[in-house]
A and B are shown apart, each in its own frame.
Chain A
């Protein structure tokens, strides 16, 4: 019974999201908005409903995940009339991957990386250079590019990882600038134009520019990348959840909260922060690499400081150190400014305000991290 409630809730959310995206006429929009408010109010104020849902999700954890995964697989069908929204959904999934990496650094380990966009750029530009300049196939470039981000991060930052947090923050900002200026001014990175004509992904003969079909219905070409990004985001979230709920996550949390206590328990400061920084950079670079093959070109403005701040917003607003929080953060913050175009100009301003409000009143984010149960 409670299982049905869980699945029903997921379908309702899915329907509301789809309606919110696709509704065009003012009447439909208003109806969707009203339904969302009503549903929210019901959950907020009807205690039995809220408790029932919470208990249901806790008990039928695996089934809820399966339900959510199914709906995620079906989403492109719902969006198939709009290649643009398929693209936005894919972008949100890339931000999930990037966000999980950044969250491991900032949220779990307290390693303040304000150059998220630069590390994503390292992934993206690596793919560009490997494919365009060196002629590698796209799939190989995507597999190798994240390691380049990891290596650069490790080499540059090992010496500084053990100093105090604000210095690292400063160094990452400086690094972000250096990366941007270098990409803009070096010959082999294409200068302000960047690198174009990055080949698309080809897996087992299937080119990602061809339109796939699901259940007999044709989907936009972007759907290929949607499913690829969904798979990557899924694996990333699964892996990082397990790392968070393990010796590593515990050690990193302790390093973050009380470095001296951690060291006296046998945790190595440099090694811990380096591991967190590197694993994080891997996933951030992977997100950037996928972006490069999806869009087909990379240029310096794609990876500037503003994007580092967007990535930061995803982590903080979603929930610091919270795996589901990052998913929520990405799925909210990426599509919303696209949907409400008039907000687009105010996007960064609103993110800034949201972060400050969040830190003051709800520092653990929209979906706070759960207690470690080591399951």
Chain B
């Protein structure tokens, strides 16, 4: 692999006495899609939360784009180019679709408070461009959505809301995208649409690195190049999907040990 865009070394996260992540080493290269699997409670989302600065690691470090980012605040890490979606979608349901995407561009804004009040034409120009970008992103997934841009996002169906969340993450023009169980709660048809959506993302931003947590192995197999498996806060396997799926430890984690072999 060429120089990784993200490297987590010995990452450890503790909650009181509970060790949620235990010395995890993960690296992602530019343009790569890394799949993360593991049973519930194995530390996958904790891993994301540590990467995005929501949890402070007890030990280990995170290097992003050659920079040590361990312990930085969440908003600082976001500004460096890491964007994410959440397992339970975190959209502001009362706000409009466009509002929910534009907030993703917050870190890249060029006009300030003064411009908003007194140099309004400069501000309007920037907003025009931002709204156009939001509409463009929406249209990639569903041509109807830009027309509904000023509706409250809570009125959209579940699958479109997922797409809005992805657009929010993409709007920032990130170098690394973290997707946390995007197919959660989806029917097989919706999951197929999701796979197409992910391919659209790939096509739109070829240099983008992606880490995707998933329970649906079909999705993981379809989009990831490499896969890592977690269990009890540790990385237990790494490699191609086939290799990881066949790994003994991974099978044990998901299926449990066979009763005493006779």
Contact = CB atoms under 8 A, between A and B. Distances in A.
Given A250-B106, A253-B92, A263 B78 contact: yes
B90 A260 contact: yes
B120 interface: yes
B75 interface: yes
A247 B73 contact: no
Contacts of B107: 265-266
A244 to B, nearest CB: 9
B54 interface: yes
A251 B117 contact: no
Which of A261, A263, A265, A371 neighbours the largest number of chain B CB atoms within 10 Å of its CB?
A265
Contact of B109 (A242, A243, A247): A247
Contact of A372 (B86, B96, B104, B124): B96
B192 interface: no
B117 A263 contact: no
B102 interface: yes
Given A258-B90, A261-B86, A371-B150, A253 B106 contact: no
A258 B92 contact: yes
A266 B79 contact: yes
Given A250-B106, A258-B92, A264 B52 contact: yes
Contact of B75 (A239, A267, A275, A371): A267
A213 B78 CA distance: 58
A339 B102 CA distance: 46
A244 B256 CA distance: 55
B96 A246 contact: no
B137 to A, nearest CB: 14
B191 interface: no
Interface residues of A, number: 29
A373 B123 CA distance: 12
A267 B104 CA distance: 9
A374 B131 contact: yes
Nearest to A256: B92
A375 B124 contact: yes
B12 to A, nearest CB: 22
Nearest to B111: A247
Q: How large is the interface on B (under 10, 10 to 19, 20 to 34, 35 or more residues)?
A: 35 or more
Interface in B94-124: 94-96, 98-99, 102-104, 106-107, 109, 111, 113, 116-117, 120, 123-124
Nearest to B89: A261
A285 to B, nearest CB: 18
A267 B131 CA distance: 19
Contact of A251 (B78, B94, B103): B103
A264 B78 contact: yes
A261 B90 contact: yes
A371 B96 contact: yes
Contact of A265 (B54, B103, B150): B103
B75 A243 contact: no
B75 A373 contact: no
Interface string B111-155: 101001100100110010001000000000000000000101000
Contacts of A263: 53-54, 73-75, 78
Nearest to A244: B116
Nearest to B98: A372
Contacts of A257: 92-95
Contacts of A266: 75, 78-79, 106-107, 172
Interface in B48-106: 52-54, 73-75, 78-79, 83-84, 86, 90-96, 98-99, 102-104, 106
Given A239-B117, A247-B106, A251-B106, A269 B75 contact: yes
Nearest to A257: B92
A268 interface: yes
B95 A253 contact: yes
27 contacts: A242-B116, A243-B117, A245-B116, A246-B111, A247-B106, A247-B109, A248-B116, A250-B99, A253-B95, A253-B99, A254-B92, A260-B74, A260-B86, A263-B78, A264-B75, A264-B78, A264-B83, A265-B103, A265-B172, A266-B75, A266-B78, A267-B103, A268-B73, A275-B113, A371-B99, A372-B98, A373-B150
Shortest 8 CB-CB contacts between residues of A and residues of B: A266-B107, A246-B116, A261-B90, A263-B74, A266-B78, A257-B92, A374-B127, A268-B75
Given A263-B74, A372-B95, 17 more contacts: A242-B116, A243-B116, A243-B117, A245-B116, A247-B109, A247-B116, A254-B99, A257-B94, A258-B90, A258-B91, A261-B86, A261-B91, A264-B74, A264-B75, A265-B103, A372-B96, A375-B124
Interface of B: 52-54, 73-75, 78-79, 83-84, 86, 90-96, 98-99, 102-104, 106-107, 109, 111, 113, 116-117, 120, 123-124, 127, 131, 150, 152, 168, 172
